[in-house]
Structure 1
Amino acid sequence: MSIQVQNIQKAFGSFIALDNLSLDFPAGELVALLGPSGCGKTTLLRVIAGLEQADSGRVLLDGEDASDTHVRERQVGFVFQHYALFRHMTVFDNVAFGLRMKPRGQRPSEADIKRKVHELLNLVQLDWLADRFPAQLSGGQRQRIALARALAVEPRVLLLDEPFGALDAKVRKELRRWLRRLHDELHITSIFVTHDQEEALEVADRVVLMNHGRVEQIGSPAEVYRQPATPFVYGFLGAANRFEGSSSAGGIAVGASTLTGEAQPEHGQVVAFVRPHELDIVLQPGASGIPARISRVLTLGALTRVELEGQADVSGQHFDVELHAANPLVAQLAAGQTVRLQPRQVRVFAQPDTAGAA
């Protein structure tokens, strides 16, 4: 089922949660709503589900206006961050709950319910836990049961609100791979909310970047990461070093230093971003580049992260550089050293008060 939201406006008192927002969600896609806390992503999900009423605008399900349709009639499956399983019910009864609550004329027989529940438990690979209670399950198992329960009523849309937010990092990584495989098997239109950039980029077909109730960018994971449309998108998706300066044909002037890598033909105030793996550390005395002093050198598996503090014109700024742990330069680095930073690639945007992004 396709979903469209048109000119959705939603405020809580003086706080504008959704600001004239319009989006299309094609049938069969897995779309991530990504952004910081308070950007409106959960509110949008609840408006689509019918759990929240928009102040204005429309929600269309397969082209039909569902704005005034009750949540029970929208055929939406909802998975919450904190599972929301019934603690007094077994796993089997939790998954069967929605089927047993259907109106008498639509309710399957107990034999059909039993067959359906075991099919779903096999789908989430937990049929062996059918007689257990939620308190006897791990967090990851509980979330998979919550997903099976949402799927039991055969929803046309699956909505997931921070589904893995309460789990530890290892379990989250396992479950998001599992969710992607499950979606590839079922092809149900799915929207999930997350503030975890890695989660969105790894799982989704498309990513919607939200900020202050508006859409900053929509695209495939590769598009939004490699071709960020705004400074917010660049800074939010992955680690980034930020420099402010003025642009000219010769590069970006940051204090007394010049960044090259994406020279701009027009003059003006700009903000420049460099990924940690695109920033080189130069030890030679008298070399050009941004002056900085090493604060810490941290080896994390195959990578070494070097944390630095800006010196001179960039005093007070903090920078990160990523090197392969096997790089011979790593052995020459130590806290307290003064070095120069030279970017290999720079992404430049005009400052907000100038015209457009560079």
Structure 2
Amino acid sequence: MAIEVRNITKRFGNFLALDNISLSFQPGELTALLGPSGCGKTTLLRIIAGLERPDAGQVLLDNEDASNRHVRERQVGFVFQHYALFKHMTVFENIAFGLRVKPRAERPSEAQIRSKVTQLLELVQLDWLADRYPPQLSGGQRQRIALARALAVEPKVLLLDEPFGALDAKVRKELRRWLRRLHDELHVTSIFVTHDQEEALEVADRIVLMNKGHIEQVGSPAEVYNQPASPFVYGFLGNVNLFHGRVHEGVLESEGVSFDAPEYRQAQDAKGVGFVRPHDIEIERYMPDIDTDGITVRLKRAHAIGPLAQLDLEREDNGEMLEAVVPNERYAELGLSEGDRLVVRPKRLRIFVDEAV
């Protein structure tokens, strides 16, 4: 099912939750609504579901205005953060519930219900738990059962609100990989809300970055990470080093360090910020007898576990902290110790000129 929202606005008292939002979601696509708490992502999901009414705007399902359709008429399945399973019902009966409460004319036979529930239990790989009760299951198992229950009524749209938010990191990682595989098998149009950047980047076909009721950027995971459209997107998607300064005729001057900004050749003494990811910083030992065009720093702390070493670096010129990430082999090759003087250079730097940055 294709979904479109047009000019959606929603207020809660004086708080503007959504400000004239327009978006389209393609059939069979898995889209993440990503952003900090309070940015409007859950409100937008609830409006698509029919659980909230917008103050202005339309929701279209397969090009038909569904703004006044009741939630039951929208053919939507839900999965929430806190499972919402019936504790007094077995796993089997929880999944069967949506089928059993259908109007008599639409209700499947008991044999059809049993077959459908068995198929879904196999799909979520929990057929061996059919007779258990929710309190007897782990958090990850309960969430998979919640997803099976949502799929039982064959929704045209699957909406997931922080589906793995209540789980620990290891289980979250396992479940999001599982969700991606499941989606590839079923191709149900799906929208999930998350504030976890890693989750969105790993699972989604497309990411909608939201901030303060507005859309900052829409694109594939690679597009939003590698080509951020705004300072907010750059800062929200992973760690970043900032170089504040002034941009004048294609050059950013920041604390005595210059960076080329050819896209801003027309800028005249404008406020600007350079953004550099930790993995885009080169490091080498400081050599006192050799002129360097880099930034001199001291290594304050190194965290070298696993394939990457994370280095906390203090600039000697202004005392600001930088973060660099290098392969552990490079870290070992340099033979670094805390307190060592180093020279760093940004390999790739993105500059924004805007009074808002």
Do the two structures share a fold, i.e. TM-score over 0.5? Answer: yes
Q: What SS is found at the alignment partner of 1:327?
A: helix
Query: Per-residue deviation at 1:292?
Result: 3.1
Kept after mapping to 2: 8 A contact 1:290/1:341: yes
What's the counterpart of residue 269 of structure 1?
Answer: 271
Matches within 5 A, 1:170-189: 170-189=170-189
Kept after mapping to 2: 8 A contact 1:98/1:152: yes
Kept after mapping to 1: 8 A contact 2:313/2:321: yes
Equivalent-residue separation in structure 2 for 1:209 and 1:341 (angstroms): 31
Match of 1:304 among 293, 309, 322: 309
Equivalent-residue separation in structure 2 for 1:353 and 1:46 (angstroms): 31
Query: Per-residue deviation at 1:265?
Result: 2.0
Equivalent-residue separation in structure 2 for 1:226 and 1:352 (angstroms): 23
What's the counterpart of residue 234 of structure 1?
Answer: 234
Query: Per-residue deviation at 1:260?
Result: 4.7
Matches within 5 A, 1:269-348: 269-282=271-284, 283-285=286-288, 287-313=292-318, 315=319, 317-327=320-330, 331-348=334-351
1:104 to 1:222, Cα distance in 2 relative to 1, 3 A: same
1:319 to 1:71, Cα distance in 2 relative to 1, 3 A: same
Q: What SS is found at the alignment partner of 1:312?
A: coil
Q: What SS is found at the alignment partner of 2:88?
A: coil
Equivalent-residue separation in structure 1 for 2:173 and 2:184 (angstroms): 17
Give the structure-2-normalised TM-score. 0.94
Query: Per-residue deviation at 1:66?
Result: 1.0
Q: How large is the RMSD of aligned CA atoms in angstroms?
A: 1.8
1:72 aligns with 2:75: no
Query: Per-residue deviation at 1:243?
Result: 1.1
What's the counterpart of residue 62 of structure 1?
Answer: 62
Q: What SS is found at the alignment partner of 1:235?
A: helix
What's the counterpart of residue 3 of structure 1?
Answer: 3
In structure 1, list runs of 5 or more residues that go unmatched: none
Kept after mapping to 2: 8 A contact 1:261/1:345: no
Equivalent-residue separation in structure 1 for 2:257 and 2:167 (angstroms): 45
Q: What SS is found at the alignment partner of 1:167?
A: coil
Equivalent-residue separation in structure 1 for 2:263 and 2:64 (angstroms): 49
Deviations 1:27-72 (A, max 9, x none): 1111111111111101100110011111111111111111111111
Deviations 1:250-282 (A, max 9, x none): 642111122358674233221111111111224
Equivalent-residue separation in structure 2 for 1:333 and 1:341 (angstroms): 14
Q: What SS is found at the alignment partner of 2:329?
A: coil
1:233 to 1:244, Cα distance in 2 relative to 1, 3 A: same
Matches within 5 A, 1:10-159: 10-159=10-159
Larger deviation: 240-249 or 98-107? 240-249
Equivalent-residue separation in structure 2 for 1:263 and 1:71 (angstroms): 49
What's the counterpart of residue 199 of structure 1?
Answer: 199
Q: How many aligned positions are there?
A: 352
Q: What SS is found at the alignment partner of 2:28?
A: coil
Matched to 2:272, the amino acid is: V
